Homo-oligomer: A and B are copies of this chain.
Amino acid sequence: MSQTEQEKIVEDFQSSPLNQPGKEFPKVNSEGRLRVQIEAPEANKVQLDIGGVKYDLEKNEKGIWEGESAPQDEGFHYYQLNIDGASVPDPGSKYFYGAYRWGSGIEIPASDKEFYALKDVPHGTVSENLYFSEITKQWRRNFVYTPPGYFEDTEKRYPVLYLQHGSYEDETGSASQGHTNLILDNLIASGKAKPMIIVMDNGYAYSPEDLKEAGGNRPPSSFEKVLIEEVIPHIDKKFRTIPNRENRAIAGLSMGASQTMAIIMNNLDYFSYYGGFSGTANFPGDKELDAETFLNGAFSDAKEVESKLKVLFLGLGTKEAEVFFKTVNAFRDMLENKGIDYTFYSSPDTSHEWLTWRRSLHQYAQLLFK
Q: Which residues of A are interface residues toward B (Cβ below 8 A)? A: 20-22, 38-46, 63, 81, 83-89, 91, 94-95, 100-103, 118, 120, 123, 125-130, 132, 139, 151-152, 154-155, 170, 237-240
A95-B102, A102-B94, A120-B132 given as contacts; is B151 within 8 A of A86 (CB)? no
Verify B125–A42 contact, CB threshold 8 A: no
Copies in the complex: 2
In the complex the two chains form, is B123's CB within 8 Å of A125's CB?
no
Report yes or no: A41 in contact with B102, Cβ–Cβ below 8 A: no
Is the Cβ of B91 less than 8 Å from the Cβ of A39?
A: no
What are the 7 closest A-B residue pairs judged by CB atoms, nearest first? A40-B86, A154-B154, A43-B84, A127-B127, A42-B84, A41-B85, A88-B88
CB distance from A127 to the nearest CB of B (A): 4
Structural contact, B130 and A127, CB atoms closer than 8 A: no
CB distance from A255 to the nearest CB of B (A): 15
B139 touches A118 (CB 8 A): yes
List 12 other contacts, CB 8 Å, given A42-B44, A83-B88.
Answer: A41-B84, A41-B85, A42-B45, A42-B84, A43-B83, A81-B86, A83-B84, A83-B86, A84-B84, A89-B89, A127-B128, A154-B154
Hey, which chain B residues are within 8 Å of A38, CB to CB?
86, 88
Q: Which of B86, B120, B127 contacts A126 (CB 8 A)?
A: B127
User: In whole angstroms, what is the CA distance A86 to B84 when docked?
Assistant: 10
A44–B125 CB distance below 8 A: no
Q: Which residues of chain B are near A151, meaning CB under 8 Å?
A: 238-239
Chain A binding surface, main DSSP class: loop
Whether A91 contacts B84 in the complex (CB less than 8 A), given A127-B127, A132-B120, comes out as no
15 A–B contacts from the bound complex (CB under 8 Å): A21-B100, A39-B85, A40-B84, A41-B84, A41-B85, A81-B88, A118-B139, A120-B132, A125-B127, A125-B129, A127-B128, A151-B238, A152-B237, A152-B238, A154-B240
Asked whether, in the complex, the Cβ of A43 is within 8 Å of the Cβ of B86, the reply is yes
- Residue in B85, B102, B103 whose CB lies within 8 Å of A40: B85
Q: Is the CB of B85 within 8 A of A88?
A: no
In the complex, residue of chain B having the shortest beta-carbon distance to the beta carbon of A170? B21
Please determine whether A87 and B91 come into contact, CB atoms closer than 8 angstroms.
yes
Interface centre among A39, A45, A151, A155 (most CB of B within 10 A): A151
Please name all residues of chain B whose beta carbon is closer than 8 Å to the beta carbon of A86 when the two chains form the complex: 38-40, 43, 46, 81, 83, 88
Q: Which of A44, A102, A118, A126 has the most CB of B within 10 A?
A: A102
A185 to B: closest C-beta gap in Å: 9
Residues in B neighbouring A132, C-beta threshold 8 A: 120
> Which of chain B's residues have a CB closer than 8 A to the CB of A102?
20, 94-95
Whether A126 contacts B123 in the complex (CB less than 8 A), given A21-B100, A84-B43, comes out as no
CB–CB B238/A84 < 8 A: no
B83 touches A40 (CB 8 A): yes
Q: Please measure, in the bound complex, the distance between the C-alpha atom of A77 and the C-alpha atom of B295, giving whole angstroms.
A: 50
Which of A63, A88, A95 has the most chain B CB atoms inside 10 A of its CB? A88
A155 to B154: give the CA distance in the assembly, Å: 8
Query: Which residue in chain B gives the minimum CB-CB distance to A103?
Result: B91
Alpha-carbon distance A126/B155, docked complex (angstroms):
21
A272 to B159: give the CA distance in the assembly, Å.
41
Of B43, B91, B139, the contact of A101 (CB 8 Å cutoff): B91
Chain B residues contacting A120 (CB-CB under 8 Å) are 132
